[in-house]
Structure formats: structure tokens, C-alpha cells
Amino acid sequence: MNKILIVFGLLLISIACSKKENFDDVVRPDKKLAEEIAKYQNQLQSAEYGWIGYLYPGGGGGYTFKFKFDDKNRVMTYADMKEGYSKQAKESSYRLKATQVVSLYFDSYTYLSELADPDPAKSGGETGYGLRSDFEFSILSASADTMHLKGNLNESELLLVRATAEQGDQYISNVYDQGEEIAKINLFENYYKTIELDGKNYNITLNTDQHTVSFYWDENGFKQFSTEYASTDNGFILREPFAYAEGKLLHEFTDFSVDVTKEEASTSIAGTATLIQAADAPLIVDAGAPRRMYTEPYEYSTLKGFAIYGTQDALGLQSIPNYTGMKYIARYYLDADVTFMYFSNSAPFGPAHLTQIDDTNGIMRFTPMYSNQGSSPSQNVSIKISQFRSLWGDANGYYVFQTGKNKYDLVSTVDPGVWIRFN
């Protein structure tokens, strides 16, 4: 019996020692996360020339940044959102923190924070939401030169790419200038543009307000591909590549230059010179777009109103004192829709109308119903609204092209030089 007890006791001691050895081999989760934080901290601050950041907010669009992180949890930021931001770096704080995964926090206000600002005057987005961007990001993956991050609140996508010696402090200023070059494509006399890829023609639209690019083509009916883009110093990169042929993906436009006089843009795609050219008519119409736009419970905004033959804000809306924009709101009244002009110092004012949709031909029409709603703040505003109402109520109507989530361009069915962009 004693021998049995002795053997049993030795067995327990052996098991206990074995367990202790196993526990010693286990890395505690908090220790592992601390090691991950140290690794990413070193990676961020050791980039001699900083990082180029491509941010795609949850609310859409694409923006380009440059970040320089130091070992004191300070970061210098440039951004292409405004010319001043592209030239003057803003210093703020950052930190790395981990719960389940390591996250990068921009924890004091900087250019990146502005996109998430709930004040539309700062973010250009929705009241209370901004552009649904983020300033806290989980690090999903990382290699030596690239880091993929995802916003913790709005699931914005942030791609960090290690900057090169050629991408110095002036780089984002060059990116901003390239964005202005891209926007010149809006100065073509007509709305429509075409591009040939692998022997096939596509309509292409660049929504330079929201940084989206859309391709439309006929393939046994209407087909469309849209994605956000972010500017580089000589073109722009697509958030999602466009598969335009078997095994061929369009990731980036480089060497992008616009010649307004010739009404064409030259660019390079995977090393092949390519032209974007003006067109008089669409290759195909999206018959379902008018109803999608109308039934979506969304207030569509436009700042510039109509473009006419290449002139943006052709009615001069932005010259009106205290003007902040226009909104098309379907079903505002039980029996009518409205297109209101908004002001910072007075109530909205504009036409009420009935929206009619031709599902067969993909046409949207706006038939006036009442006199203008609200009180005009000035005689000048009354004149502008009258001019707008005349165009808006054209009985020929408008084709509708979607350029992103809740983003639509309306183009006159009889005059491709007359169009309006809603975001």
C-alpha cells in the first residue's frame, strides 16, 4: 500500500512540474500585444521619409495624406483636402493602443479628424456625422512598406505606404495640384466622355467633388462599375481595381493631363498611353437610375447647381450672399417634391414640383406644381431661382447616372452640355 502511495505521489509531482513547464512556454496575451505595439511603433517612426496615406471614409470619397511619426507620439500631417493643408503640416498627437488588436489613434485634432467632424461647415458632410470617417484605426496587416488599417467606428479604409526620398514635404502639394488638373475634365463642353480599354469603349465619369470614378458600358444591357479614387502626384489610384477584360485590372491612372481646348485627357494605364475624349451622347442609358434616386430616403445636395457648356455654377449660385447650397428632397410634401436653396441666415427657398419617372427610357422630369416655397431673401435670389426653375422644369427631362452611393449626375436628354451633380 505504501509503495502505491509513493508511486502516486511521484506521479502527481511529475504532472505538476510538466504543467509548470507548459505554462512557462505560453506567451501571455498582454505581453504579446505589448510586443505588437512596440513593433508597429518602431515601424511607424523609423520610416525616414514618412508614410503616404490613402483614406477612404465610410461615407465615400478618397483623400491623400502624408504622415511623419516620431518617438514622442507626435505626428506631422499634410493633406490634399485644401491647398493650405497640402503646403503646411499640422502637428498633433498619436498613440498605439491594444484591446484585441493594435489600433492607431490620432488622438488630437488634425486634418484627418476634420473629415469626421459633425459640423458640415468643417467636414462638408452630414450634420452630426461628417463624412463618416474615422480617427481610430485597427491595424489589420503590415509588411515592411505597407500597412492596411480599418476604422473602428465607420470602417473607413486607410492604406499607409512608406514614402520614398522623392516624396518629400512638397509631395502633397503636388498631389493637390494634380487634383486640380483632374478637375479640369469638368470644363469640357459636354458631359459625356469615353475611354477605350482593350478594344472596347466605355463612358467614364469622374466625380471630382466626391473622388469617385465610374465606367458605363453596354454588355447585353447596361453595366456599371464605380469606385473611389485618391490622387497621386501624377494621376490617381482606384480603391477597387476595374476588371475590364479577362485577367486585366485597372489599378491606377498615371501621367494624367487634361487639354480643355482639345477636350481630351491623356493618361497612361499599365504603361499604355490612353485618351479620354469628349462625346456627344451616352453609349447606353441606365434606365433604373431615376427610380433608384427617387426612392432612396436621402436629401441630395449640390453646391454649384447646373454646369452649362463647361461653365461650372453657370447660374452663379455661389455668388449669392450667405448661400450654402441646394437640396433635392423627394416627398417633402405629401403631394410634391422640392428643390430648396439654403442660406446661413434665412429659411430655405425654392420650387415645389412633381417628379415623373420614365422607367422605359431612364428619364426623370420635374413638373412645377406650386409657386416657390418659402420667402426669398432678396430679388437676386428670386432671379436665380427663376433661372434654375426654368432649366429644372424642362419637359424633355434628364438622364440619370449614378456616380457613387447616393451620388447622381443628371444630364439633359436634348443637350449634353447641360447637367447637374448631386452628392
Domain holding 205: CATH number? 2.40.128.50
Cell of 47: 520610416
Give me the pLDDT at residue 7, please.
46
Is residue 24 included in any domain, yes or no?
A: no
The residue from 168, 187, 220 where one domain ends is 168
Cell 488622438 belongs to: 107
Same domain, 274 and 296: no
130 shares its domain with 97? yes
The domain in which residue 394 lies consists of 289-422
267 and 219 inside one domain:
yes
- Residue 49 and residue 164 in one domain: yes
Low-confidence stretches of the chain (pLDDT < 70) are 1-29, 121-125
pLDDT at 9: 52
- In three-state secondary structure terms, 46 is coil
Q: How far is CA 91 from CA 76, 112, 247, in A?
A: 5, 11, 44
Buried b (16+ CB within 10 A) or exposed e, 29-54: eeeebeebbeebbebbbebebbbbbb
Same domain, 88 and 135: yes
Q: Is 5 inside any structural domain? A: no
Q: In 3D, which of 278, 223, 272 has the Cα closest to residue 252?
A: 272
Compute the residue count for the chain.
Answer: 423
Q: Which amino acid, one-letter code, is at 189?
A: E
User: Are 320 and 376 members of one domain?
Assistant: yes
Are residues 154 and 48 part of one domain?
yes
Q: Which residues of 380-392 are buried (b: 16+ CB within 10 A; e: fewer)?
A: ebeebbebbbebb
Work out how many domains the chain is built from and give that number.
3
The last residue of one of the domains, among 110, 135, 168, is 168
Query: Given 138, 168, 198, which residue is the final one in a domain?
Result: 168
**Residue 66 belongs to a domain:** yes
Per residue in 363-399, pLDDT (tens digit) is: 999 998 877 888 888 888 889 999 999 999 999 999 9
pTM, whole model, 2 decimals?
0.89
The CATH number of whichever domain residue 301 belongs to comes to 2.40.128.270
Residues 298 and 411 in one domain: yes
Q: How far is CA 194 from CA 220, 275, 361, 420, in A?
A: 19, 8, 21, 19
The DSSP symbol for 213 reads E
Q: Kindly report the backbone phi and psi dihedral angles of residue 13, in degrees, each rounded to the nearest multiple of 5, phi listed first.
A: -60, -40
pLDDT digits (tens, 9 = 90+) for 274-314: 999 999 999 999 999 999 999 999 999 999 999 999 999 99
Q: Is residue 20 part of a domain?
A: no
- Listed in sequence order, the residues at least 6 apart from 356 whose beta carbon sits closer than 8 Å to its beta carbon are 364, 365, 366, 367, 397
Tell me if 114 is assigned to some domain.
yes
Residue 159: count other Cβ atoms within 10 Å of its Cβ: 17
Q: Is residue 46 part of a domain?
A: yes
Q: Which residues contact 199 (CB under 8 A, 6 or more apart)?
A: none
296 and 347 inside one domain: yes
Q: Is residue 22 part of a domain?
A: no
Read off the CATH number of the domain in which 122 is found: 2.40.128.640
Flag whether 40 is in a domain: yes
- The answer on 159 and 75 residing in a single domain is yes
295 and 404 belong to one structural domain: yes
386, 394 contact by CB (below 8 A): no
Looking at the structure, do residues 200 and 268 belong to the same domain, yes or no? yes
